[in-house]
Amino acid sequence: MRYIALTNPTRSATQGSNDCDRKWFTRLVVAGIIYTQLQELNLKYPTVSKEQHQELLNAKEILESQKEG
């Protein structure tokens, strides 16, 4: 109920305001903040050399053969 005072300071939370009417806005703001923060992290997939890639494929084969047997 605290966000009601932030969005409309002249209206008290006890004046019968319907909180459900503002949930979409709160969720939109939070989603926007999360999106912005994730973009600022500038995440990228790691690069793998050919040797590392081959090692990963070998490890995958070993694990898959253990699962079957």
Residue range 9-44, pLDDT digits in tens: 565 555 555 666 789 999 999 999 999 999 999 999
Tell me whether residue 37 is exposed, middle or buried, using C-beta atoms within 10 angstroms of its C-beta: 0 to 12, 13 to 18, 19 or more. exposed
Confidence of residue 64 (pLDDT cuts 50, 70, 90): very high
pLDDT given for residue 54 in this prediction = 97
Residue 36 or 3, more confident:
36
pLDDT given for residue 21 in this prediction = 74
Contact 55, 63 (CB under 8 A): no
Tell me whether residue 21 is exposed, middle or buried, using C-beta atoms within 10 angstroms of its C-beta: 0 to 12, 13 to 18, 19 or more. exposed
